[in-house]
Amino acid sequence: CNDVQELTSIITQFNDLSSTARVGGTLTSTMDAMLADIQLKCSKSLEIFHKSCPNLSHLMDNDRFDLAFFRLRTELKHFEHELAWILRQCFSRATTLSAKLRLLDVFYGAYQREVVQRALINEEQWIIDNIKQEFQLVGQLVNSYNKNDLHWPPIARKLLYLYALKQRIDLVMNQFIELCPKIINSDIGWEIREAYRIAKDKIQRNEDDLYNQFEQSATSQISDLLLQPVF
């Protein structure tokens, strides 16, 4: 049962490589060609496997299935190492957090392979460190709103600025949760969640203060208007 589940996972993950190569997911034509070649070799290996076990009845023939699956898994393991090398080159060319997260998204299926994850352990740590730094930076930017836009009232301008900061960290956090669920639920993930919470709370406190200022200002203005004579 576990072998069948792994086989299904392998087929899905390696089939994704063809679409990735077609859309230029590696950002270079050379890497795209290498990626397409890996996918082609994987397809041929799967075709040979299917010829050895053309239907589910062969699952009952343990020796036949085990031998065919062992050959397939051995070949795919070699392809995984080739794929890991390509991904390391791609990540080395991506210099920003958003670019690296985009690569994780593009190669999400391949990233689930253990060999690929081991090859990208340093990139994974870089992403984690920079996500925490991003949240800390946003926390520092809360009080650094742009005062040059005179087309908005002061409070509205500040609220719009805080909304943009909130969207900024929400985008990163949601991407990371979707792409790396195992990490986000680990001890390292707790540090990321805590940095996110601190930044989010700081934004929320500033928003609450602004709403209170607006309420007090509006109340004061209404009171003054009520004291004015009707005529």
- pLDDT digit string, tens, across residues 65-104: 778 888 888 888 888 888 888 888 888 888 999 999 988 8
Taking residues 206-230, what's their average pLDDT?
Answer: 77
In terms of Cα–Cα distance, which of 28, 25, 30, 41 is closest to 74? Answer: 41
Domains in the chain: boundaries: 1-93, 121-230
Tell me how far CA of residue 226 lies from CA of 59, 217, 223, in angstroms. Answer: 85, 14, 5
Q: Which residue has the tokens 């001890």?
A: 187
Tokens standing for residue 130: 């920079």
Rounded CA separation 35/17 (Å): 7
Grouping H, G, I as helix, E, B as strand and the rest as coil, residue 186 is coil
The highest-confidence range among 112-116, 166-170, 221-225, by mean pLDDT, is 166-170
